[in-house]
Amino acid sequence: MKTYQIFLVVSLFWYSILNAQTWQEIKRFSPEQTLHSIDFLDGQTGYTVGALYNNSNYNIHRTTDGGKTWIDQNSGYTGMRFMKIWYQDRDVCYMSSNEGIIIKTTDAGEHWKTLTTGTKEQIWGLYFTDKNTGYACGSRGLIMKTEDAGETWKIIPNAKQNLLQSIFFTSKNIGFAAGSNIIFKTIDGGENWTEIKNFPYTPPADWIRKIVFPSDSIGYACADIGRIYKTTDGGDSWKTLNSGVQEALMDMDFVDDKIGVAVGFNGTIVRTTDGGLNWLIMPSPAGIDHNFGIDMVDANLAYISTHRGKILKIQNLTSSLDPKLEAMYLYPNPCSDVITLSSTVDEFNFIKMFSIEGQEVLHVNKGDIIDGQININDLQPGTYIFAFYQENGLTTQKFTKI
C-alpha cells in the first residue's frame, strides 16, 4: 500500500480529455434544441430528435456514418416535444410525442406520417415485440397496444392515473411499464397489468424514468436523486443499488446483465461492468448540460443526447483496466483540508481533477508526486471528480470538499 502527496495549485480552464474511456462531443445542433432521445440501429445508423420552437419542422436528425454527419428530416411538427424513438429496422422507425402523437416512417425518414392513436395524452414510452405488435405508455396511466404496425391502437383500461414513462417487454407476453411511483407487469401480452407492490420506492416520490431488462430475469430501473434499482427474478422483487450520484437519472441502457450506463442531470454519466455493484462516474465533455438519452450499441460503443442539443460518443467504454487501478480510492471523503490517495499499484501515469461543471483544476504527472498527503485547502467547497489515468483507460472517483 502506498500513499502519495499532491500539493494542489488550482488553475481553471475548460477541459478536454483525449484519453481512453472518454466521451467526446461529436455534434452540436443549431439552433439549440432539447434532444430527449437517441437510438441507433447499428454502430453507424441512428436517429435523434429535438424540440424546435423557431417554426421549423426539421427536428429529426439521422446519421449513417456514426455521427460524423447528420441529415435533418421533417417531422411535420414544430414546437413539439418528441420523447421516444423506436428504431424497428433500416427503413421503419417510430417516434412518440405530446398530444397523443406517434409518427412513423417506412422509407428511412424521407417521409413521416402521423398515426391515429385515439388519445391526446403525452406518449412517453414505445416498445415493439415484433414488426406488428407494439406498446406505448404515457400520462394519466396510459397504456396502448397495436397489432398492425401502428395503424390502429387499443387503449388498455387502467384504474391508476400515474404518469408512465418507460415500457419494456422481455418476451411476447411479459412486459413492464414504469413511471411516477409505480411499476406494472403484464404476463398476457398487455391485456392486463398488475402493480408490483413490493418495489422499494424512496419517499416522498420516485419517478422511474427508465426500465430495461438485458435478460428475462435481470432488470434495472433508474429514477430521481441517483436511484437505481435491480431485479434478479424477472421483476417480482427489487433492490436498491448505490449509484454514487444524487442527480436525477433520465435514461439507462444495458448490453448484457452486467454492462450498462445511466445518464442524467448536470452531466451525470455512470457506468457499471459488474451488474450494478459498482458504478464509475465518467466526466462529460458537455459539462453540466443535462444528459437525456443514452443508447449502447455494444459494450464499447455508445451515444448520448443532451438537453442543449449535443451528441456525445464513446468507442471504448469498457477498455481493459488494471483492476487494482479501479480499486484506488480517496479518504476521508468528504474532507475539508487534507486527503489521502490510497493505491496498491504504481501503474497510473497521471492524475486530473475536474470541477462538477467540467473544468480541469489539476493535472499532475506521476513523477511529480511526492510522499505525503493531498492538500485541498486552496479548493472552494464543492464536488470534484478525480481521474486516474492509465495507458489503456482511466478510473474516476467523486470527491466532496467541505
Task: Name residues of the chain where pLDDT drops below 50.
Answer: 1-20, 344-345, 372
The candidate with the shortest Cα–Cα distance to 295, out of 253, 255, 258, 256, is 253
Q: Helix H segments across 47-157?
A: none
pLDDT tens digits, residue range 192-212? 999 999 899 887 778 999 999
Q: Which cell goes with 325?
A: 487501478
Hey, what's the cell of 189? 401480452
Task: Please give the DSSP secondary-structure letter assigned to residue 324.
Answer: H
- Residue 74 has what pLDDT? 96
Quickly count: other Cβ atoms within 10 Å of residue 62's Cβ.
19
SS3 91: coil
DSSP letter assigned to residue 287: T
The angle formed by the CA atoms of residues 195, 256 and 18, to the nearest 5 degrees, is 120
Q: Which domains does the chain have, with CATH numbers?
A: 2-13+323-401 (2.60.40.3080), 22-314 (2.130.10.10)
- The answer to whether the CB of 261 falls within 8 A of the CB of 302 is yes
pLDDT at 312: 98
- Using only C-alpha atoms, what is the Rg of the chain? 22
Measured CA to CA, the distance from residue 308 to residue 50 in angstroms comes to: 9
Residue 12 confidence (pLDDT): 27
In this prediction, residue 372 carries a pLDDT of: 45
Peptide bond into 214 cis (omega under 30): no
First to last CA, the chain: 27
**Cβ distance 194 to 184 under 8 Å?**
yes
pLDDT, position 16:
34
Cβ-contact 255, 214 below 8 angstroms: yes
Cis peptide before 204 (omega within 30 of 0): yes
- How high is the pLDDT of residue 381? 87
CB-hemisphere CA count at 13 Å for 33?
A: 29
